[in-house]
Structure 1
Amino acid sequence: MWFYYLLQDNHRRASEVIEASLRLLTQAEADPEVLADIRISLAYSLTQLGKFAQAKDHLRRAIVIAAPRANRTLLADLYFSLADAYRKTGEPLVAQRYFSAALELDQTTGDFAEAAISQLKLGSLAREARNYADAERLHNSALLLFQKNGSYREIVAAIELARDYAAQGKLDESRDLLQRKVLRDARTLPEQLLDAKILMLRIANDYSALGDSSGHGKSLAAGLMRDIQALLDASAARQQTDLTAPTQRLQFAEQAIRRQAIERDTAAVIARGEATIELISRVAAELRASNNDGLAWLAQAQPVLNEYVKALYELAPERILPLLESYYDQPPDAVAVQHSGVIGRAFEAEAIRRFDRYIAAELDLVDTASANPDMGNAELLQHLRMRDLARDAYLAGHESRPASRLPRRLEAMARKRPPRIPAGDAVLRYFVQDGVSFGILATSSGTEFFPLPPRSMAQQLVQEALATVQVANVSFARQRSALSAVRQLLPPDASLERHGVRRLIIVTDDAVQPLPFAAVDISSDPHVYTPLVSRFEIVRTKSIARYYARQPRNTGRDKAIPATYDAVVFADPATKRSVRLASMQLEATKGWTERLAGLPSARREAKSLAAAFADRRVKIYMGADATSQALLAPEARTARLLHIATHGYYNSATPGIVGFATAAVDKQRGFLGLTELFTNRFSSRLVVISGCETMRGRDYTGWGVRSLADGFLTGGAGSVIGTLWSIPDRTTAEMMSVFYSALRRTNGNTAAALREAQLNQLESPQSHPYYWAAFALESANRRFDRHLF
């Protein structure tokens, strides 16, 4: 019956009958492998209904049960299905690892037809990574095998190959392949027909972009729009939900908005854009509620938003700022640790064991990747797989919460008056994406747009600027050239001067997030370096409305836990290396946590803070006392000011894993990652993370970087000072001494104090931006960065 409903494209009924069989088999205590196989079918239908989190949950549970039995065929199917779910929710690297694992298992069992299906998916991931040669090779190979076997999957392979051609601009080849191999084949199922027609619409739009204004192309596109909408409407009616085929709906929305913008149909563009954003947000809410990566899904949906914003930029620019404020105001991702900690109950004990295995696998990956920077991809891949499996095993026992609230409708947001921006402030909001790139300057006088270079050029300017400031021995001429060139990413001087701007409030996106704005050269004299921070206080934020809100959102304070201290310092933890040297154990070291040296200057940072706030309640954790438990204790989490001076971890090979070094005593790991760190919320008004690269992390297109600094803000902190690159220990301590003296003198004006510390360093012998420009302030609300206490 499941197969019958599948062929009828009725996944609502398909999921109902397969869930019924799963209940019956469970009651009959059927073979767990049979139950696992049933879950694969159920997961497929759930993904077609937009219930990705439920699908992943079934597959994870099945893998936990099936893995000990070593049934390679079953495990390959499970890995493949979970990989497909990860791919559809925007996690291509995790998907690639699971697809590769499925391929290897199928090859060992000699099932080359199943192996070809995994190759097909790996080819699609290669195309999305713009490795077109690999994509075509894998898709051609799969197509030939399916043709030889007479499998209907040759239709799927033909569609993927046509996508390869279209991505490279081979529009004629793509269209001809679809017409020969897909649209005329009676075996084509509704899902493949939808894929093919959406691709045909994209091809029609691409022809229009190349200047084809023939009436035939316009009528063809109109016919495709009607056909695709009819297919989606019919599917939604069968499933009784408008979330059916969400990934295909996104692809169609992107091309439909393109077509409607070409025809300058503003009302249709707005209606399509609003409906699509509601779809995106509903899926994201379900993923967040189950501790899946909702940000990954949102990043995958970015091309649709880009197309919508591009159309509005041409047709209705006044709607763009309300749109961006509403869309990027999605609720933060949930923390992936929800067990209660009550070990007395069996299921809690098992949850904690699985969580410990997950964290241990993550730490093993940290140490291995750091100890072997040149290790082959195969070795790194194996450690990443172990971490994937450990994480999914933990999440398999996780109970989902109700879905998060949805953002307010865009029309309501558009009608709401924008926040009042005080005189002297200027807000820069960036939108630097594929196909559309601009900045918005908002002041007390109004709003204006300023053009920006294309995304690829903006990224190149940022990277060239970073290359000159991340090390101290770059020549003055090269530094000036790069830091002057990046001036293109700021509004014209005349605009800032006209409004009497003294403070810049910057809403970045991922393309410009790494830019050290403080160091941008604004001098007109080629022999004089004048950094941006010499004229302005600089603050980053996520949302203009939230930043200027009269009442800040709840910062995470647990009212049942009163603040014990005004300031808590966490500094220079006893590392594994220092503990080993103290005990005269000189064995060879291997990983990141094993090789960390002490931070004597961090102790000076602690003393300077204590001196600046001698009349306040200050608690210091150093050496063996600077444990993970200390940083997670209520005393640290509720302190008005939390200063963390320790080693930060970031590795470009594993950008999703960031963390701190903590004291490696009493058999403790000596590492606190993002997952563990935010098991509880933080309510500090200011968190200063004086460690290396604490504003680096995984890049989510359009949404910025998920870093330690971002994690504290998401976890409830009011404002955070983090770093954009590795910083020197001694000069950092000197800067922090000036910063805390200025912070006390300015009555807690964090932006002004940071500016004073940076300008003081600029006048010192260590004046190169390497020593001071890595520090950046991000704030949730102006009350936090202007008044610490």
Structure 2
Amino acid sequence: MPPIRRALATLLILGMGAARALDTNDLAAAEKELEALVADWEAAWQKAPSDENAIELGRALQALGVIERQAGKAEEALPHLQTAVERLATDSPAGRSDALEALAMAEQDLGKGTDAEKHLRQVIELRPEGAERLQGTDNLALNLLAQGNYPEAGELLRQALDATPADDVESRARRLGNLGRYLHVLGSHARAADTFREALALKFENPELRLSLSSQLALSNLRLGKTEEARKGMEEAASEARTFYHDTPFRAVPFINNLGALDLSAGNASEARASFAEALALLEKSFDPQHPSLITPLNNLGAAQQAEGDYKGAEQSLRRAAALQEKHLPRIHLQTAETARNLARNALLSGAPNAAAEINRATNIGISVIESAAPEIDRATELGIAVLDELIGHGSEQERLNFLQRHDLVSLPCATGDPQRIAHVLLATKARLFDAMLSGGKTDAVPDWQTVQKSLAPGSALVDATRFTALDGTDTYGAVILLPQGPPKWVLLGTEEDLQRWLAAFRERLAWRASALAGKSNPPPALKLRGILRSLHQKFWEPIARELPAETQHIAFSPDGALHFLPLPALMDEGMQPLCSRFLQVATVTSGRDLLNPAATTKLSSSPWELLGVSEFPKSKEPPGDDPLLELLASLADMPGTADEMSRLEKLAPRGSEFLRNEKASEQALASLPKAPAVLHLGCHAFFLADDLSPATDLDFDEHADLLHAGGLLLHGAALRKADSPLFSPDDDLLFPSEVAKLPLQGTRLVTLSSCESGAGTAVSGEGLLGLRRGFALAGAREVVVALWPVSDRSTPEFMERFYQLALASDRPAQALWQCQREFLAKAKNDDEFEAAVLRYAPFVLSQNTPLATGAEIAAAQSTSTPATKPAFPWKRLALVLPLLLFVVARLFKRRTA
């Protein structure tokens, strides 16, 4: 029973007038009756200040305060409830807890979140286990959610829901709604929508709760892009709310706000502004101008005015929202960060209305505009990073990925074109979730760019790329270039549309070349590979190359978005030479912070390797049906070239290395390694089922959870999988990235995936690539080699042999891979040979989380007869003694049979 009803029920002398007023929702009449009752008990207490009279007065004050709060008069309710708590000091724990809870609700309405939190914690302490305590837990969780303490709020909401009996349907629906709100705030809109649907499916009678849940579901659908479904739900909820809350119209504000959000997302800025203005007017009629409930409509109104081009009006609305946030909210808060971003964007747009066009022409905004907008941008960035730090170590991977997708921290700094500002935000934001997962949830202090610069050896550079949204809404790319000396440089690259178009043409030409090499005669695409690679170079590398000194030979490249799929070694420069002929190496890192990690202490030749090779894949006899994965497994071809590859590498691997072939190359064997090998080499199939390689910006990773296991590794028995097989199994020989991440590879220096499409994955802007290379890095590998597109197993043995020769000779795998690609691509004498070489040798890329190791070109003999790490087997000496050996064996056999 809510505190108001319980308080009134205990007031045996309560007049029937107040009771009838409450039943008819006539709050004004109830308030008048209760004021008279308070006056009577106040007089009685003044005359005889006994504990009994104090308690009766306290209950009357509590009832009055609750009614005043329900009527929107939290300022009047607060002193009444404070006095109620004082008078009820000698009441039972239940009575005291009710008064404290009512006080906390009023404090929360007035933006006194910290005071409310203190009193709600006291409520929980006073109440025994059971429904009453769960109600206090609900209120504390929602208080913490409002204050921005998201981790504890989520934990409490789940605890309360788990403890709610299934037959208490209204409480369960309410708590599902609370959990849905939490998920929605953090950007997990698909799970929020499912939670609201689950709540609405319960059979409860409360029409107000059902209305709230329906509106929240509609808002989640809007965030998921289900516009028509969202519009229907929001319009119905707003219409019903205007009727339901006729006597207290301010309670309809959340529903009107949702309608405005719908119009704003659809580009109807004027309609959105009208809805937000209506919501604001309703609140201003009922509340003080400093009331915290005004924050949301003010921020929304400012966003709508900005979209209309009314920058002055937007500035006023947003400033009012920011002032109220400063008064009522903690500094680190999602809502505060959102308003700060809106203010910063407004400062840019108001100072340079044509800023978007200037950016698209690859020019910077004027210095005066940057200077005027800089404080707002820096504040917004600082607040956003603080929220990121708060959340990055908590929640499931899906929840954290959803949060990262919904909160863009890089676009505003990129809009200024200020290299130092952009360098700072990239170091503070890129791959933070990856690093937090790698460190078990810990988040280290973010280094400045000067610290990263000190790690760069002469002749090296860091190219830190980012995908961002320009002021005109265009998704584009840029890069910060950091050299061993001097300030960072910022260059603009091509757009997302450019990149996707040329990558599609590249993949189409590669597919045609592969079919041609297989003997199929299909008409070729119009564009040849050299032209495509030249265009990619012009848009996505040439602006970088112009800023690199001639002595730069070693590059650490941190890609973002679809730049992960850029065929770097094969890009054609202005002289129509592949990029791998220009530099000694280009190694991939997830962020510039990787360059500050300790160097790998394990040498490639210092301890045994583990090599798994699968050349034969037994198949299931069951039909695959419509399952894409089963269809893929049924079509797996054997890989005879893997046997050759393993034989070649056996001559190079250190003593004690283990070679597991075919049925011995199992998931169990890989998961039960007694010791992390220096090198793990996997010659097998890999797969990636998702078609879209564009970066995930609006994806919900709960709605699209399949993206976290869209690819994987296929060992010997993987194709025996059946339709009813569980998704994850420790012995099915199919390893998804999450299973790879659990492998015992702490201390492994290098993992090489000699597998088709092992480098594919879902690109998450600012966070890297979700796929196998991420999984192996999380497992502990310092360097990982993957392939970005399918490659024939017959072409890899010689390439892998040469790669390991160069790596063993230098102990620099990244440079060895780049040099190996240069050697193989240089052998091409014409276009046909070049396209075949790109297909076979350019897909391999090495990513590392170690400092960039530099050195001169690697000198290593190409002969396999004298391995670098162990003596060759003495075949010539054996040939000399073989006749003698045969003679001795024959004599022994003759004696035994005599």
TM over 0.5: yes
Aligned to 1:194: 295
CA distance in 2, matches of 1:21, 1:135: 38
Residue in structure 2 matched with residue 30 of structure 1 by the alignment? 130
Aligned equivalents of 1:317, 1:766: Cα separation in 2: 37
Q: Distance in 2 between matches of 1:738 and 1:4?
A: 73
State how far apart, in whole Å, the 1-side matches of 2:672 and 2:652 are. Answer: 24
Shift of 1:235: 1.0
- Deviates further, 482-491 or 623-632: 623-632
Change (3 A) 1:783 1:494: closer
Q: 1:228 aligns with which of 311, 318, 321?
A: 321
1:539 aligns with 2:587: yes
Gaps of 5+ in 2: 1-100, 352-367, 471-475, 516-522, 691-703, 719-728, 859-867, 870-898
3-state SS of 1:570 partner: strand
* CA pair 20-771 structure 1, distance change in 2 beyond 3 A: farther
Q: Specify the alignment match of 1:303 in structure 2.
A: 408
Amino acid at match of 2:741: F
Q: Equivalent residue of 2:651, what SS?
A: helix
CA distance in 1, matches of 2:109, 2:190: 31
Q: Which has the higher contact order (CA 8 A, sep 6+)?
A: 1
Cα pair distance change 1:542/1:736, threshold 3 Å: same
Shift of 1:691: 3.1
Report 1:675-754 matches (<5 A).
Answer: 675-679=738-742, 682-754=746-818
Q: Whole-Å Cα distance in 2 between the matches of residues 221 and 289 of structure 1?
A: 35
Please state whether the residue corresponding to 1:453 is helix, strand or coil.
strand
Q: Deviations over 1:173-223 (max 9, x none)?
A: 222222223333445795652121112222343344xxx6xxxx53x3443
Question: Amino acid of the residue matched to residue 427 of structure 2?
Answer: E
Match of 1:483 in 2: 533
Deviation at 1:492, TM superposition (A): 4.3
Query: Does the aligned pair in 1 maintain the 2:430–2:766 contact within 8 Å?
Result: no
Q: 1:79 to 1:420 in 2, by over 3 A?
A: same
Q: Show the 5 A alignment for 1:240-389.
A: 241-243=330-332, 246-261=333-348, 262-263=350-351, 264=368, 269-293=373-397, 295-296=400-401, 299-300=404-405, 302-311=407-416, 313=417, 316-328=418-430, 330=432, 332-335=434-437
Equivalent residue number for residue 38 of structure 2? none
Q: Aligned equivalents of 2:646 and 2:205: distance in 1?
A: 62
For 1:184 and 1:152, locate their aligned partners in 2 and report how far apart those are by CA, in whole Å. Answer: 5
Q: Would you say 1:519 and 2:519 are equivalent positions? A: no
CA distance in 1, matches of 2:839, 2:430: 32
CA contact (8 A) 1:645 1:691 kept: yes
Residue of 760, 774, 788 corresponding to 2:843: 774
Q: After superposition, what is the alpha-carbon deviation per residue over 1:481-512, rounded to whole angstroms, capped at 9, x for unaligned?
A: 54333221112497278625444432211242
Conserved? CA contact 2:464–2:481, under 8 Å: yes
Give the 5 Å matches for 1:341-740. 404-407=443-446, 413=448, 416=451, 418-419=453-454, 421-422=456-457, 424-435=459-470, 437-443=477-483, 447-469=488-510, 472-473=514-515, 475=524, 477-480=526-529, 481-487=531-537, 488-492=539-543, 495=546, 499-522=550-573, 530-536=577-583, 537-544=585-592, 546-547=594-595, 549=596, 552-553=597-598, 565-572=607-614, 586-588=621-623, 592=629, 595=633, 597=636, 599-613=639-653, 615-633=654-672, 635=674, 638-652=676-690, 654-657=706-709, 658-661=711-714, 668-679=731-742, 682-740=746-804
Structure 2 residue 824 is matched with structure 1 residue 760: yes
- Normalization by structure 1: what TM-score? 0.74
Instruction: Name the SS of the counterpart of 1:682 in structure 2.
Output: coil
**Cα pair 1:162 1:178 within 8 Å, conserved:** yes
Say which SS state the counterpart of residue 655 (structure 1) adopts: helix
Among 172, 181, 184, the alignment partner of 1:84 is: 181
CA contact (8 A) 1:83 1:95 kept: yes
TM-superposition CA deviations, 1:456-478 (whole Å, max 9, x none): 44444444434443563483642
Distance 1:177 1:76, change over 3 A: same
- The answer to whether structure 1 residue 141 and structure 2 residue 239 are counterparts is no
Task: Give the superposition deviation at 1:231.
Answer: 0.7
Instruction: Provide closer, same or farther for how the CA distance between residues 46 and 588 of structure 1 changes in structure 2, counting only shifts above 3 A.
Output: same
1:434 deviates by 0.7
Matched residue type, 1:259: N
Q: TM-score, normalised by structure 2?
A: 0.66
State the partner residue of 2:362: none
Over 3 Å counting, the alpha-carbon distance change for 1:755 and 1:556 in structure 2 is closer
> Which letter does structure 2 place at the counterpart of 1:723?
A
Equivalent residue of 2:396, what SS? coil
Q: 1:3/1:544 Cα in 2 relative to 1: closer, same or farther (>3 Å)?
A: closer
Correspondence for 1:381: none
In 1, Cα distance between equivalents of 2:338 and 2:663: 54
1:7 maps to 2:59: no
Residues 788, 845 of structure 2: 8 Å contact kept: yes
Question: Hey, what's the Cα distance between the residues in 2 that align with 1:224 and 1:439?
Answer: 34
Q: 1:602 to 1:53 in 2, by over 3 A?
A: farther
- Cα distance, 1:687 vs structure 2: 1.4
Structure 1 residue 252: Cα displacement: 0.5
Partners of 2:258 and 2:754 lie apart in 1 by 48
Write the letter of the residue equivalent to 2:540: L
| Aligned residue in 2 for 1:375 | none
Supply the distance in 1 between the matched residues of 2:763 and 2:402 (Cα, whole angstroms): 13
Are residues 53 and 724 of structure 1, via their aligned partners in 2, closer, same or farther at CA, if it must alter by over 3 Å? farther
Residue correspondences, number: 678
> Are 1:555 and 1:716, in contact at CA under 8 Å, matched by a contact in 2?
no
Which moves more between the two structures, 138-147 or 263-272? Answer: 263-272
Shift of 1:650: 3.8
Cα shift at 1:132: 4.3
Partner AA of 2:820 in structure 1: E
2:262 aligned to which of 164, 168, 171: 164
Contact 1:681-1:716 at 8 Å conserved across structures? yes
Bigger-Rg structure (1/2): 2
Taking the aligned partners of 2:167 and 2:713, their CA distance within structure 1 comes to 37
Amino acid of the structure 2 residue aligned with 1:478: L
Q: CA deviation at 1:63?
A: 4.5
User: Which piece of structure 1 moves more, 321-330 or 680-689?
Assistant: 321-330
The superposition leaves residues 259-284 of structure 1 with CA deviations (integer Å, 9 ceiling, x where unpaired) of 33344575675544444444444443
1-structure distance, mates of 2:611, 2:798 = 16
Tell me, in whole angstroms, the C-alpha distance in 2 between the residues paired with 1:155 and 1:601. 67
- Whether the aligned pair in 2 keeps the contact of 1:523 and 1:531 (CA below 8 Å) is no
* Maintained 8 Å contact 1:568/1:635: no
**2:148 counterpart (44, 50, 53):** 50
CA contact (8 A) 2:253 2:282 kept: no
